[in-house]
């Protein structure tokens, strides 16, 4: 592996973030407008399950059970490596190292994959309003530059920008909700989307598989623990606030969406045509009941919603890279931070990775039968689903790690928090993970499995297995490095300086 980083590269510096800032960063990753206009509409179109709103509530409860142990662990471990550090200290360093590779690949997959829908939407909007046809990958490259600039600057700057964007998202979706409840298709408001009989149908597995992706990002609070003013209070509070807001908002807004579409149309396998499936269901209703000006406003905010999610996942990758490099698992130079504490080396690495992947797909898309929809049907359809699968696996492992961590020393934490809730979370999230694998062809929009059906899960799982093996090898050949895995520490020869010293040296 590599040597430990030098002094001045081992800490993220000033603690700037409070509960509101971290909450905005979490909610931005979940992208509320994108979930309702894109995710929920697609779930209705593909599964024909009308109980999607109840499904969001069930998933929120399951994740709430997970968050109990997760929040308890965050009070004792402050590390930008988050999941990786928790798993290493609860299940052992080899499993922790494997999980770090799964996290890096999963967050990169989420971030790079979302660029597919971003490029498509931006280029489509420009073409519609100006008649100028900009290749999707050009729009993506512009976005990468903007996100890269934000990534190497103070994290509270990102939080402020995302706070404004998220607030605007909520406003426009609330407008949609009010209109949908006031003017439902069919003329009457029905509570059937909240009925268990509408959720627990044969396609419920696919509905849960689509639904869990909407929550990805809620777990990211611990990534900002080293930049939070009071991580022992900030991280748990931000996690629960974000989960309650996201879960409740998704349930309410997807119920409004069901009213806008019409429950009979959702239940009819032939009720939603291919042309209107997905976002057109949302924007078509907006055009009919609010007018084209609102379609334009929501179209712009749909783009900024995706942009906000991209910023959040970029930040996640940068901080995982920083955490691994600080301990010497990745090259030490990747642990470099700016005076503000921003992990600029990790941010730059993610930016370069995104550019390389986007250019590969730009070349691959030349002459594709998918036409202008190429980035949506490949990048956006493939990688976020694979990334969500990886993050669900990580949450399952974290829940098991909570039990292992507190088994040695309860630290005054009650048995419900350190044993019961984590065990229940393992069962619930493990079931969701199995459902994702079982419904992966549905998530990819495939009628029959092909190479991507197997390659995409392998993209996530193989690095994890490789990381476990690497951890076992490191334990044998480099005990000093092995001892630092998941601890957030440099070697004794390169001690971690305090935040003030790091700011002066970075």
Interval 470-491 mean pLDDT? 86
Q: Residues 437-452: pLDDT tens digits?
A: 999 999 988 889 999 9
Checking if the pLDDT of 362 tops 90, the result is yes
Q: How high is the pLDDT of residue 159? A: 75
Predicted local confidence at residue 14, as pLDDT: 56
Q: Answer whether residue 69 shows pLDDT above 90.
A: yes
pLDDT beyond 80 at 377: yes
Mean pLDDT of 265-275: 88
Percentages of the chain per state (helix, strand, coil), in multiples of 5:
75, 0, 25
Q: What is the DSSP letter of 494?
A: S
The whole-number pLDDT of residue 411 equals 92
Q: What is the mean pLDDT of residues 450-458?
A: 95
Mean pLDDT check: name the lowest of 225-229, 282-286, 329-333, 444-448: 225-229
Are 16 and 156 in contact, with CB atoms under 8 Å apart? yes
Rg (CA), the chain: 22
* 8 Å CB contact between 75 and 232: yes
Residues 6+ away with beta carbon under 8 Å from 346 = 317, 318, 319, 320, 321, 322, 325, 334, 335
Query: What does the domain layout of the chain look like in residue ranges?
Result: 19-505
Half-sphere exposure of 181 (CA within 13 A, CB side): 11
Report which of residues 408 and 103 the model is more confident about: 103
Bigger pLDDT: 302 vs 222: 302
**Which of 490, 384, 403, 470 is closest to 101 using CA atoms?**
470
Give the pLDDT of residue 181.
97
CA distance 104 to 108: 6
The mean per-residue pLDDT over the stretch 449-465 comes to: 96
Secondary structure element (H or E) that encloses residue 248, with its range: helix 231-261
> Does the pLDDT at position 88 exceed 90?
yes
Counting every residue written for the chain, the total comes to: 506
159-174 burial code (b ≥16 CB/10 A, e <16): bebbbebbebbeebbe
Q: Is the dihedral of CA 33, 37, 38, 41 positive or negative?
A: positive
**pLDDT computed for residue 228 by the predictor:** 81
- DSSP state, residue 417: I
Answer yes or no: are the C-beta atoms of 282 and 32 closer than 8 Å. no
Rounded Cα gap, residues 273 and 190, in angstroms: 23
What band does 65 get if pLDDT is binned at 50, 70 and 90? very high
* pLDDT value of position 249: 95
In whole angstroms, how far apart are CA 156 and each of 62, 239, 243? 30, 17, 21
Query: What is the model's pLDDT at position 10?
Result: 46
Provide the percentage of residues in the chain whose pLDDT is more than 70.
93
**The pLDDT of residue 141:** 98
Judged by DSSP in three states, 17 sits in strand
Rounded CA separation 54/425 (Å): 19
Q: Is 200 exposed, middle or buried (0-12, 13-18, 19+ CB in 10 A)?
A: middle
Q: Which of the two residues, 158 and 124, has the higher pLDDT score?
A: 124
Of 4-8, 271-275, 331-335, where does mean pLDDT reach its minimum? 4-8
- Average pLDDT over the chain reads 88
Distance of CA 241 to the CA centre of its chain: 17
pLDDT-derived band at 506 (thresholds 50, 70, 90) equals very low
Instruction: Identify the three-state secondary structure at position 483.
Output: helix
Q: What superfamily does domain 19-505 belong to in CATH?
A: Amino acid/polyamine transporter I (1.20.1740.10)
CB crowding 303-339: b at 16 or more within 10 Å, else e = bbbbbbbbbbbbbbbbbbbbbbbbbbbbbbebbbbbe
pLDDT for the residue numbered 466:
97
Task: Work out the pLDDT band at 15, boundaries 50, 70, 90.
Answer: low
Whether the per-residue pLDDT at 148 is higher than 90: the answer is yes
pLDDT, residue 278, reads: 83
What pLDDT score does 471 carry?
95
**Residue 353's pLDDT is what?**
96
Please report how many Cα atoms fall inside a 13 Å half-sphere around the Cα of residue 273, on the Cβ side: 4
271-310 per-position pLDDT tens digit = 888 778 888 899 999 999 999 999 999 999 999 999 988 9
The residues near 233 (Cβ < 8 Å, ≥ 6 apart) are 19
């Amino acid at each position: 592996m590599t040597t430990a980083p030098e002094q001045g590269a081992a800490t993220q510096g000033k603690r700037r973030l409070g509960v509101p800032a971290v909450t905005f960063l979490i909610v931005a990753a979940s992208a509320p407008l994108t979930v309702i206009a894109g995710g929920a509409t697609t779930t209705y179109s593909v599964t024909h399950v009308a109980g999607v709103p109840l499904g969001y509530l069930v998933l929120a409860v399951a994740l709430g059970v997970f968050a109990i142990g997760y929040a308890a662990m965050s009070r004792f471990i402050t590390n930008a490596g988050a999941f990786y550090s928790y798993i290493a200290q609860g299940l052992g360093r080899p499993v922790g190292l494997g999980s770090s590779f799964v996290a890096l690949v999963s967050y990169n997959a989420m971030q790079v994959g979302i660029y597919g829908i971003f490029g498509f939407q931006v280029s489509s909007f420009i073409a519609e309003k100006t008649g100028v046809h900009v290749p999707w990958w050009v729009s993506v490259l512009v976005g990468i530059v903007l996100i890269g600039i934000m990534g190497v600057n103070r994290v509270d700057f990102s939080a402020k920008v995302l706070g404004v964007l998220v607030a605007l998202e909520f406003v426009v979706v609330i407008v949609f909700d009010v209109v949908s409840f006031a003017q439902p298709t069919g003329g009457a408001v029905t509570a059937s989307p909240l009925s268990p009989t509408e959720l627990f149908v044969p396609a419920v597995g696919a509905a849960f598989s689509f639904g869990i992706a909407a929550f990805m990002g809620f777990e990211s609070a611990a990534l900002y623990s080293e930049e939070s003013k009071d991580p022992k209070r900030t991280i748990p509070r931000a996690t629960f606030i974000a989960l309650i807001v996201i879960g409740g908002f998704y349930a309410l807004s997807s119920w409004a969406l069901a009213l806008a579409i019409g429950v009979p149309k959702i239940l009819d396998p032939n009720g939603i045509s291919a042309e209107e499936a997905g976002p057109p269901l949302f924007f078509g209703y907006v055009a009919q009941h609010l007018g084209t000006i609102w379609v334009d406003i929501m179209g712009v905010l749909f783009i900024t919603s995706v942009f906000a999610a991209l910023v959040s996942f970029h930040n996640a990758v940068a901080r995982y890279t920083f955490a691994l490099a600080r301990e010497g698992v990745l090259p030490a130079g990747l642990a470099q931070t700016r005076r503000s504490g921003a992990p600029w080396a990790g941010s730059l690495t993610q930016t370069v990775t995104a550019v390389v992947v986007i250019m590969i797909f730009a070349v691959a898309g030349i002459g594709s039968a998918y036409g202008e929809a190429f980035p949506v049907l490949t990048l956006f359809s493939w990688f976020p689903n694979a990334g969500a699968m990886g993050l669900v696996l990580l949450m399952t492992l974290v829940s098991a790690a909570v039990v292992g961590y507190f088994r040695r020393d309860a630290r005054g934490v009650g048995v419900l928090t350190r044993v019961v809730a984590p065990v229940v979370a393992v069962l619930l999230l493990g079931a969701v993970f199995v459902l994702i694998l079982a419904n992966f062809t549905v998530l990819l929009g495939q009628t029959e499995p092909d190479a991507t059906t197997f390659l995409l899960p392998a993209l996530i799982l193989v690095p994890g297995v490789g990381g476990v093996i690497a951890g076992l090898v490191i334990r044998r050949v480099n005990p000093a490095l092995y001892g630092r895995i998941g601890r957030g520490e440099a070697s004794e020869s390169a001690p971690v300086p305090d935040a003030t010293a790091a700011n002066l040296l970075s």
